[in-house]
């Protein structure tokens, strides 16, 4: 945050320096123009004065103005000085003696003392050398330029205040949501990964940042849950068949037994080992969905094709299973059915969900419907089976959890957690609604991707 403050203060300093430099440039340019213009006006009057005082037509052949058409400048004073070769004054009319040493006696010369401007030049008449000059006060410099200076100073002060106030308002309005995001992120730890940053419908950068961060949190939460479930379920689910195997082997070896008894013991051990293998494979499969794929290898795939492949997979597993697929809601634009993901993982998720629907339905039939919205594709999987008790709904995505009314059905409680992990990995949503004796409906929504 200090870095943002330094950047903001640097921008304020740059704007202030630019504003002050610009104002100084304007004032300097106008001052120079005012001086140059006033010296030209002084030169004009000096030529007229020389013509009048020396009483001999225009001394400059190109000078054809007459004095009567030119008004005097503010506090204008005319002077003429005759001097010799040693620059000693012979005759002086109107020039302050203390200025003589500062005047150029070789040609035209302009200078300024305090707020008074001078224009002088040297003329020769009848072998005599004269210095003719005019002095006046620059009214524009004295009054208007001073007014301009004060006006520019006030403008700079107001401009700086405006820049500072606007910058602070921008800082408050821009950094406040950033501070809010930082505070919300600091509240999130391994013990509360379910927390999310607030999102709106705006498409600004901060909202996109929050949305991206929430997606990352969802992946991290899935990984943490997978790790936690792997540890807890591995210790519980793997311990039972191992205990059975060890107990059966110990019992068989406790004394001399017949061949038939050894065969029975080995059969029990093989059955427990087979159960252990299936649970281990299911557990590892569930763990892989939480760790292996981070989305970098995802590519556009069509959901309708994945559904059809999942149907074939389910029918190949159990020929008694039937799937009725409704494609009447498919959009005319097939591109609206494309999502960015892994075809193998999505097919695995839908195969598990469809297989569950067939297994728990009395007629072993699953009803699948597919449709599309503007930015997502919807898949509904419904059955007319035993349903899920309301008290069991909150736990159906826990690994190895089985509803209280599924005692007569085989399974390991891995299908829904596995499907949930895969759907979340694809930034999708899964929702289960059920009524005991009426059946269960699973709704999956996956974001679509635009393919050029």
Q: Read off the pLDDT of residues 72-85 as tens digits, 9 standing for 90 and up.
A: 788 888 898 888 88
Q: What is the mean pLDDT of residues 337-353?
A: 84
Amino acid 317: pLDDT = 74
Q: What is the mean pLDDT of residues 341-361?
A: 85
Amino acid 381: pLDDT = 92
Residue 35's pLDDT band, with cuts at 50, 70 and 90, is confident
Residue 210's pLDDT band, with cuts at 50, 70 and 90, is confident
What whole-number distance in Å separates Cα of residue 204 and Cα of residue 181? 14
DSSP H helices in 254-299: 259-291
The answer to whether the CB of 406 falls within 8 A of the CB of 392 is: no
Beta strands in 328-428 (DSSP E): 338-341, 361-372, 376-385
pTM value is 0.46
The answer to whether the CB of 354 falls within 8 A of the CB of 323 is: yes
Q: What is the mean pLDDT of residues 261-273?
A: 83
Amino acid 444: pLDDT = 92
Q: Read off the pLDDT of residues 223-253 as tens digits, 9 standing for 90 and up.
A: 676 666 556 555 655 666 777 788 888 888 8
Q: What is the mean pLDDT of residues 57-71?
A: 49
Amino acid 228: pLDDT = 64
Pick the residue with more confidence: 401 or 432? 432
3-class SS of residue 315 = helix
Residue 63's pLDDT band, with cuts at 50, 70 and 90, is very low
Residue 150's pLDDT band, with cuts at 50, 70 and 90, is confident
47: burial class by Cβ within 10 Å (0-12, 13-18, 19+)?
buried
Residue 445's pLDDT band, with cuts at 50, 70 and 90, is very high
What whole-number distance in Å separates Cα of residue 31 and Cα of residue 288? 79
Domains of the chain: 2-142 (3.30.450), 294-452 (3.30.565.10)
Amino acid 68: pLDDT = 53
Q: Read off the pLDDT of residues 113-122 as tens digits, 9 standing for 90 and up.
A: 877 889 899 9
Among the ranges given (54-68, 80-94, 143-157), the one the predictor scored with the smallest mean pLDDT? 54-68
């Amino acid at each position: 945050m200090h870095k943002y403050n330094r950047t903001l203060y640097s921008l304020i300093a740059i704007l202030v320096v630019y504003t002050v430099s610009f104002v100084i440039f304007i004032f300097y340019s106008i001052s120079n123009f005012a001086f140059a213009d006033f010296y030209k006006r002084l030169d004009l009057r000096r030529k007229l004065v020389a013509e009048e005082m020396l009483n001999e037509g225009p001394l400059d052949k190109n000078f054809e103005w007459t004095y009567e058409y030119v008004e005097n400048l503010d506090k204008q004073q005319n002077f003429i000085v005759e001097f010799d070769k040693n620059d000693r004054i012979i005759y002086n009319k109107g020039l302050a003696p203390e200025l003589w040493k500062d005047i150029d006696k070789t040609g035209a010369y302009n200078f300024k003392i305090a707020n008074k401007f001078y224009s002088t030049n040297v003329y020769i008449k009848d072998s005599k050398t004269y210095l003719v000059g005019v002095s006046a006060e620059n009214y524009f410099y004295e009054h208007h330029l001073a007014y301009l200076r004060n006006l520019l100073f006030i403008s700079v002060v107001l401009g700086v205040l405006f820049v500072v106030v606007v910058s602070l308002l921008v800082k408050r309005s821009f950094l406040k949501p950033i501070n809010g995001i930082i505070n919300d992120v600091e509240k999130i730890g391994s013990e509360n990964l379910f927390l999310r940053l607030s999102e709106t419908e705006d498409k600004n950068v901060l909202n996109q940042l929050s949305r991206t961060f929430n997606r990352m949190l969802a992946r991290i939460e899935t990984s943490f849950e997978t790790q936690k479930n792997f540890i807890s379920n591995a210790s519980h689910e793997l311990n039972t068949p191992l205990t059975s195997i060890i107990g059966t082997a110990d019992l068989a070896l406790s004394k001399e037994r017949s061949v038939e008894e050894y065969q029975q013991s080995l059969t029990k051990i093989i059955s427990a080992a087979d159960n252990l293998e299936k649970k281990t494979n299911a557990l590892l499969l569930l763990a892989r969905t939480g760790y292996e794929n981070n989305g970098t290898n995802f590519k556009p795939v069509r959901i309708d094709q994945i559904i059809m492949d999942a149907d074939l997979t389910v029918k190949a597993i159990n020929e008694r299973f039937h799937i009725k697929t409704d494609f009447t809601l498919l959009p005319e634009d097939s591109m609206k059915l494309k999502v960015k993901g892994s075809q193998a993982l999505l097919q695995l998720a839908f195969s598990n969900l469809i297989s569950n629907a067939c297994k728990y339905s009395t007629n072993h039939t699953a009803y699948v419907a597919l449709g599309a919205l503007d930015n997502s594709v919807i898949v509904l999987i419904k059955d007319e089976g035993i349903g899920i008790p309301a008290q069991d709904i909150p736990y159906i995505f826990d690994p190895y959890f089985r509803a209280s009314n599924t005692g007569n059905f085989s399974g390991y409680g891995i299908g829904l957690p596995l499907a949930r992990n895969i759907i979340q990995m694809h930034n999708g949503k899964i929702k289960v609604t059920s009524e005991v004796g009426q059946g269960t409906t699973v709704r999956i929504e996956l974001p679509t991707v635009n393919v050029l």
